[in-house]
Structure formats: C-alpha cells, structure tokens
Structure 1
Amino acid sequence: MNKRSSEENSISDVLKSFIETNKLQNGLDKINVRDAWKNVMGPGVNNYTTDVVLKNSTLYVVLTSAVLREELLYGKEKIITILNEELRRDIIKEINFK
C-alpha cells in the first residue's frame, strides 16, 4: 500500500489544475455560454434561437425572427453584461445576431 502524501488539495483546486493542464477552458466556455444564454434569455427568446456559438470573445446567435433580432440589437450591451455576470467572468466582448 502506498502512503498518501501529507499535502491535501481540494477537489476544486484539482479540477482547475486539470483544466489548465489539458487546455480545456475554451471548450468549457463554449458550453457554459450556451447554458447561460438559455438561462438568461428565457423560453420566449429560446424558441426563436437556433444556434449559439462562442468564437474567441464573440458570441454568434442565430435567430429565426427578424423582429426579435432587431429588438435584441438595441439591448446588445446589456445582454453582454448580464451573460458575463451569469458566467462570473468577462468572456463575451461582442454579440453578432444572424
């Protein structure tokens, strides 16, 4: 039997280290952004959303409603702020609605 080292790490520290070592943060950000969009925007907007993709620091959102697209353009900065608050990091710098 091996002895355990006396150095103890929390699970969150081990996971952070694993994510950094394996360069997984970008992939996790892409998934987290999709979830944040669904949570923040609610079912009304999600019914008209067909795709949400994060590339670099730009969020690309594909919508099926031109009217909704125009409405969301007016609140672009606020949406960025709310999504970044939901993500607890400044990941999104720009949003592009298609």
Structure 2
Amino acid sequence: MWQDKWIPVVLLVLLGLLQYRLWFGKNSIPDYLNREQEVQAQAEQNANLAQRNALLEADINDLKIGLEAIEERARNELGLIKRGETFYRILPADSK
C-alpha cells in the first residue's frame, strides 16, 4: 500500500523544497525585487551624474574657447574689476 503512495509524497516534498527556495532562499523573488529597485536607483544616480558631467564639460569648453567666459566668471565669483572701471553696487530699497 505504501509502495503506491511514496512517489507522490516524494514529489510533493521536492515541490515544497523548490517553493521554499523560490520564496525564501538565496536569489529568491524578494531578493530579485530588491535588486531591481537598487538598479533603478543606481540608474537615476547615473543619469544625474551624467547631467552634471555634461554641465562641467560645457564649462570646460567655454573656458578653453574664450576669454569672455573667464572674465565673466572672475567678475561673478571673485568680484574682480578692470583697471579704469568704476564699481557701483545698487542695493534694494528697504521695505519698511
């Protein structure tokens, strides 16, 4: 009697083990979903860095090409004034 039922029992045990590994083991479905989220976050970070790199590359090209960009940067960031120029600072009126 047991000889007829041991094959389905063994198959059910194997199926249970495979299901356990699928849901709770290494490289399971939850692990896959977590990795998918990590890949998406990394792709967003890479896109942001690529955009930043493009802006930096444009700044480098501007600095290599013309002196006007260097002068503009020196005026804005360092507050430099040419010889013979007069510097005027206009302050906004107080809102009292």
Greater length-normalized contact order (CA 8 Å, ≥ 6 residues apart)? 1
TM-score category, normalised to shorter length: under 0.3
Q: Structure 2 length normalisation: TM-score?
A: 0.24
Q: Which structure has the larger Rg over C-alpha atoms?
A: 2
Greater share of residues in strand: 1
